[in-house]
Each structure stands twice: as C-alpha cells, then as structure tokens.
Structure 1
C-alpha cells in the first residue's frame, strides 16, 4: 500500500441509474477523511502489469448533513476501473485512496445575498449535488440548478433533487432538460436556451451570482464562452473536468530550461530535488522515489497544487488555478518548472 494512502471499506452500494452506482465508504482505521463539498476522492488501482493507476471520483455526500463519505461512479466506455467498480465491487471490498482534493469548491464563507447557479450534464451532477445540499441545509442562499440529461430514467439523483425542490420551494430553482424531449426549449442546453433561462432567473444582470459548471468539455466550453460574452467575470465561473483531455494546441517551453533546485515541504518532512525541463517538478520527484499527491498529471485537477514560498515556477498548462489562487502563490507541480533560480514549495 502507498505510504500516503488511506484504506477504505465499502459499507453499502446504491444503484442510481442503469450505469451509475454510489459507494458509501468508511476508513478502516476509524479516522474521518476530511473533504469539502465539490471535491473528489482519488483511488489507487493496480494494472495487471503491476503499475499503479490513479482514478478520481467525485464525492456526492455532504459534510453539512454529516452524511457518510460517498462517491458516485458512472460506468464509461473503455473505462477499465469505472466498469470494475460498477460491475464488480461489493460491500466489504477495500480500496486505497490518497484522500480528497480538488478546487471545485464553495467559498469558505459567503454573504446571504450570494446566489449559486449550477449547470450540470449527466454525471456532472455528482459534485454539484453535494454542494447544493450543503447550501440548502446550511444557509438561506438561493440556488438555481440547470441539469441536462438524455431522459428522466438516466438522471442521477432525480428523486432526491425533486425532494429538495419540494422541501426548499422558495430557495431552489430547478430546470430539467431532457434531450429526448420534442420541445426544443426543454431538450438540449444551447446558447438560445441558456439565454431564455438567464432571462427567467436574471442570471446575466446579477453580479452576486457564482456559476459552477460540470459536464462534458464541449458543454462547459459553450457555457463558459456565453457567460464571458455576457460580461460574467472569470472569477465567478468554476469548472470541473471529469475526463482529462490532452491540450489541442502545442504547449510552450519554459523561458528558462536550466537545472534548478526545488525544496519541497510535505507531510512533516522536506527534501530537495534538481529539476530541469522537460521533466516537471512532479515527474522529477516521482523518478527519485518521493511520494507527492497527484492525479491527472496534466494540469486539469489541482490535486498536486502547492504554494511557492520562494523563487519562481512557470506552468506549462493550468486549467484549475484561478486569479486569486495564482496571486496567493499556488502552482501545479505536474506542469510546473523552476525558473530563474532555486524554488521552495509547501504542500
């Protein structure tokens, strides 16, 4: 077992749809696993050749409700481990995890007039479901959910969401879109349909609304472009990618490709490595046997984020760190390279 991992036991399994199940977990050592609504759990698996593989699954439980830790997994085509979990996992099975991570989270605090607009497609509802429950049960803030699916039968958490709508009639605004519907305005989320819903809920005119997007990349790209065109600040838009996709454009090289030392403080110890392009900080640490948190290794999840306390780190790719995080000194070790001299990082 990875020395940084936590052993989890599956205590119950619930079928959500024909291809999706929720897994309730407990730590074997009895210590609670800390997480925030919207984060994901990274599990460690073994390929048949013995290589370690990491897969991240969103947490659907809410700490506000003191629900037991639960992840929800949708079986995807050619998804070796999602298929194994959905088809073969049983109560009592043990799983290795490096814990919860991710930056797709709610603000630590927010004023009473803050609104939250969630746009989810398919299994993109998983982290959003945890966030919605946390807001509704923990505050009086208004929530708008625009949720796209193929049909009602394929809609994850549909019954629970309808119950929330019934319980929080004046606080939760719900828009369900089913692509099999013959009514165009109730099927797919196009820019035109988004305009209609935005007008209905005054989304473009309210600076106090935060937008959370989770679904296929093309779906989120369309929404992001539309929101930005309507004047919504990028700091008011959060996105969560489920499937890691290679960048479609050629990535630049760092302005400085010389070798520099990187000192890393993590897990109550420190170590120093020599990093030089083309190997990133994370890749160099792994090569030297140092265990650091990571998942996607492509700058798209945030698991490997660290704070740069001295020196400069240039990132080749970044899909998750916003302006505030960058200002606070956060960098991604998986796409980060030291430039202009030594660097010190804290995880």
Structure 2
C-alpha cells in the first residue's frame, strides 16, 4: 500500500442498477456516513492497491446531480481490456468497499451560465455519463436556458438513460430537444455524427449566434476531435467549448520549460505546509510524490485537473493543459502534474 494511504477515504457501493447489457450504475456513499460532495459533471478517483508501494488510479464520472438525485452514483461501461471496468460490471456487489482520493474535475457548469441562451451537449456512448449530470442540473436551475442534446449510439437498446431522457424531453418539451443518432439507422445521413451533419445541426440550433451557446463534448477521442474542429471552423469561440476525456492517452512531452533551474515550492494543503525543491525534468507533482506529499492526482498528463492548485506567488509553466480555461489560468490555477516552477520560487495552495 502506498505511504499516502492515510489520505484515502473508504467508499461503499450502496446499490447497483443495470442500464444496458454492458453498463451499470453504482450508487455510492462514504463508509463513515459523511456526505459525498461533488458538482454536476465531476468525477471520483478510486485507488486500487496492486502490491507493496504500488497502486493504480481510475476516475469515473457521476451520472447524478447534487440536490436532484438523492444518492451520488457513477455509471460505467465494460471496456474489453479494462481491468477495473470489468471488475465493476462482472463482480462488484452492494457492500463492497473501495478507496478514493475524492471528487474533482472541471467539466462543470460556469457560474455565469445565465448569460448564455443555450447549452448544446454532444455525447457518444458512455460519454453521456457526465453530460446527463449536467443536463439535469441545467434543466432544474436555469429555467430560461434552451438545451440541445446530440447523442450517438449503435441502437436505442444500447442507449444509456434512453427512457430517462425521453421522460425529460416530454417534461421539458419547450426547453429540451434531443437528437438521437443510431449507427444502425438505414438513413446513413443520420447514422453517425459527421462534419456535414454537425454543421447542419449547428445552424439549426445555434442560429449563427455561437457566442451565446456553450458546448460540452464527451465521447471517444476521434469523435471529440472532429466535433471540436467543426465547431471552431464554424466560428464557435474556443472558450465556449468544454471537453471531457474518458480514454486518457498520455501525450509525448515535446515542450520544455524555459527555465530548468532548481526552485523552491511552498505548498499549503488542508492546513499543512510543505516545502520542497523542484528542478527539471521532475514536475511539481513528480517531486511531491517522491517526498510523500499527498497532492491528489489521476491522469498525470494535464488532461483531468485532479492535481490543480492555485499559484499565489511566482510562476508555473505547464507543458500540457487540456483542462483549465484562460480565465481559470488568469486566476492562478495551474496543473502540478505538467507544471514546473520558472523564474523563481513558487507558492501554491490546494
């Protein structure tokens, strides 16, 4: 077990619901009875001990929304070569215990959502999980907002939350429109989301008023890459596009900090003060781990945001950032997993 095990909390699986043939929802709660706090669109990271001083981490999105759903829950799809997704789907049972570092994630609704006219959500397969969470919160809390969900699957039977979504569409018929796309459809023009179809849907729902639309994307890498390119080509401001990556493929580091000297890090976290030295090629997170400093993390490649901190003094240079928006960076948010101190010493808060 990792020497950082004291920062983990125990989660209990309270109940399990079958959604489709290879998808299940798992209702969760802390073993000590304390509330499991999270925001719509966020995820929870589990720690799986492998052997002495070794562990693996996996993050799963909440499909529930706080104050709307009584019990927090995650929804998983079996992945063919996924060791832990197969355990959840094939072997997990109510009462099983898991270790977690808690909840995190930036795939959430902004505080200024009310200034937008519409929320356009794009999901493929199990990418609906955080999208469903966001959808429920937006419908409940923003009555003037128009919502569009573009959801791709193989068939209706393979569509996670199909009946629930139909129910929401009927309940909020004046505000919610859902475009179901099935790859088995005989109408090949609507079988899969492609460049031409997305362009047409964008004209239909965003009305060339893209600055007033906020887009959330979740699905396979190629799906989101295509959608992002189309949206930006059609004039959607980059800051209006939010993405959530499920299959993390660690990129190769091709950029290196302009300052590769050693600098001091002072870190304030949960009432504790830590000091350590960082020098390239070690990132802030890598050096913290070597010093047994329990910075939360998951992907270790600038793609999930679990390790984010606020820089209150100095400057942190990041070789990869697929999570933080420009406005968040302006507020001092940085990713410790891809970050290096440059130009002097740094003070961080988590």
Q: Deviations over 1:168-205 (max 9, x none)?
A: 11111100001111102221000100112122213533
Which is worse superposed, 10-19 or 198-207?
A: 198-207
1:71 and 2:74 matched: yes
Is the deviation greater in 160-169 or in 133-142? Answer: 133-142
Describe the superposition over 1:218-241 as per-residue Cα deviations: whole angstroms up to 9, x where unpaired: 111111111111111111000000
Per mean C-alpha deviation after superposition, the further-off stretch among 60-69 and 165-174 is 60-69
The unaligned stretches of length 5 or more in structure 2 are none
Equivalent residues, number: 346
Matched, 1:61 2:64: yes
1:251·1:317 contact (CA, 8 Å) conserved in 2? no
Contact 2:8 2:99 (C-alpha < 8 Å) held by counterparts: yes
Give me the CA root mean square deviation. 1.4
* SS at 2:227 equivalent: helix
What residue number does 1:6 align with?
Answer: 9
What's 1:291 paired with?
Answer: 294
Kindly provide the CA deviation profile for residues 298-339 of structure 1, in whole angstroms up to 9, marking residues without a partner as x. 100000000110011111111111111111111100010111
Q: Distance in 2 between matches of 1:155 and 1:50?
A: 40
Runs of 4+ deviating beyond 4 Å: none
The 5-angstrom pairing of residues 93-172 of structure 1 reads 93-111=96-114, 114-140=117-143, 141-172=145-176
1:129 offset after TM fit, Å? Answer: 0.2
Structure 1, gaps ≥5 residues long: none
Post-superposition CA distance 1:62-115 (Å, at most 9, x none)? 113142110111111211111111111000101111111000000124327531
1:40 corresponding residue in structure 2 = 43
**Normalising to structure 2: TM-score of the pair?**
0.96
Answer yes or no: is the 8 Å Cα contact 1:302–1:321 preserved in 2. Answer: yes
Aligned residues of 2:253 and 2:319 also touching (Cα < 8 A):
no
In 1, Cα distance between equivalents of 2:206 and 2:77:
33
**CA deviation profile, 1:146-173 (whole Å, cap 9, x unmatched):** 0001111111111111111111111111
1:113-135 C-alpha deviation (Å, 9 max, x unpaired): 53100000011000010110111
1:338: which partner in 2?
Answer: 341
Q: How many angstroms apart in 2 are the aligned matches of 1:112 and 1:143?
A: 14
Give distance in 1, aligned partners of 2:248 and 2:345.
31
Preserved contact between residue 60 and residue 70 of structure 1 (Cα < 8 Å): yes
| Structure 1 counterpart SS, 2:170 | helix
| 1:305 and 2:308 matched | yes
Q: Report the Cα offset of residue 48 of structure 1.
A: 5.3
Secondary structure of residue in 2 paired with 1:207: helix
What secondary structure is seen at the aligned counterpart in 1 of 2:113? Answer: coil
Q: Report whether the alignment pairs 1:207 with 2:211.
A: yes
Q: Secondary structure at the match of 1:324?
A: helix
Aligned 8 A contact 2:16 2:25 in 1: yes
